[in-house]
Amino acid sequence: MVLLEYKDFDQLYHDLARIPLLEYDKYSDKLVKSGSTYYMDNVIIEAKSYECHIDMSKLNYTIAKWTTLVNRYVYPQDYIKLKQKLVESNKKTCSFNFRHDIEGHDACIIALVFTRDNPKGKWDKVSVEYRITDVYKKFAVDLILLNRMFTDLPNLDLKSIILYFPKVFFRIEFLAELIGGYYQLEEFNNDSFASKHVTDLWNRYYTPGAELSNYHSISRKQKLKARSEKLPEIPIESLKLFEGVEVEL
């Protein structure tokens, strides 16, 4: 089991993402390598705040990703019911289940469980139950979704957000695509596998004048990287949940 603690979502994403790069020696017995991917099992993370300023455009995502994420994760009618429960409940726990796909294409987040010691007080703790997550890209957008939910939901005064993961994975090849956004080339200057692999990918495929790769997966990343430099910023405050949607309960 790995226990980690961060002050807010910004630090959580920044520091967790850099474990294979900057803290490999500290967690070498917990990181399992498979090709260019590291896996870490049974991870519990606590954040004291959901403060977050992650910009999806720096992750090579457009605003369409936000719409897709919300629609895939949350039924509007269930979200409205959650709002009502958080206000009307006289219990010490309140749970919310994210959408489940019977075909097996499940979202990464399974459920939220809000708790409080005083049944008449505000909800001050929440547990986020995960299935699995890709730290470098999808997890960052999950944090945006959680921030928007916790900002919007009523009767909250969260002092502790705990995230439970059976497994997290770090797909190192994504890092080269993200350099210039949340990562800088200067960070990859040590002798770790992650640094060497990212530097090699950068030099081969992303430096000015690099030719488009014959490999579809790499050429797609090259195109995304070129597109990302032209994407407009997406301030987190501009992202809304079901704005203008009428829901029948």
Average model confidence (pLDDT) for the chain?
A: 89
16-38 per-position pLDDT tens digit: 999 998 888 999 999 999 988 99
The reply to whether 235 falls in a domain is no
Residue 136 belongs to domain spanning = 2-172
- Which pair of structure tokens corresponds to residue 239? 């992202």
Categorize the per-residue pLDDT at 231 as very low, low, confident or very high, splitting at 50, 70 and 90.
confident
Residue with the larger pLDDT of the pair 191 and 83: 83
Is the model's pLDDT at 103 over the cut of 70?
no
Q: How sure is the predictor about 190, in pLDDT bands with cuts at 50, 70 and 90?
A: confident
The alpha carbon dihedral of 90, 100, 58, 22 has a sign of positive
Residue 154 lies in a domain: yes
Q: Minimal CA–CA distance to 45: which of 150, 164, 136?
A: 164
Q: Are 138 and 108 in contact (CB under 8 A)?
A: yes
Better-predicted residue by pLDDT, 63 or 223: 63
Assess whether pLDDT exceeds 90 at residue 4: yes
pTM of the model: 0.91
CB 47 within 8 A of CB 6: yes
For residue 228, what pLDDT is reported? 74
In a domain, 119, yes or no: yes
Residue 181 placed within a domain = no
Q: What is the mean pLDDT of residues 142-164?
A: 96
Q: For residue 60, tell me if it sits in a domain.
A: yes
Q: How much is the pLDDT for 72?
A: 85
In this structure, is residue 13 part of a structural domain? yes
3-state secondary structure of 214: coil
Q: How does pLDDT run across 201-222, given as a tens digit for each residue?
A: 888 888 877 788 777 777 877 7
Largest CA distance in the chain: 63
Residue 39 belongs to a domain: yes
Looking at residue 9, what is its pLDDT?
Answer: 97
In a domain, 238, yes or no: no
Count of structural domains, the chain:
1
Distances in whole angstroms, Cα of residue 227 to Cα of each of 10, 178, 201, 222: 24, 12, 18, 9
Predicted pLDDT of residue 249: 38
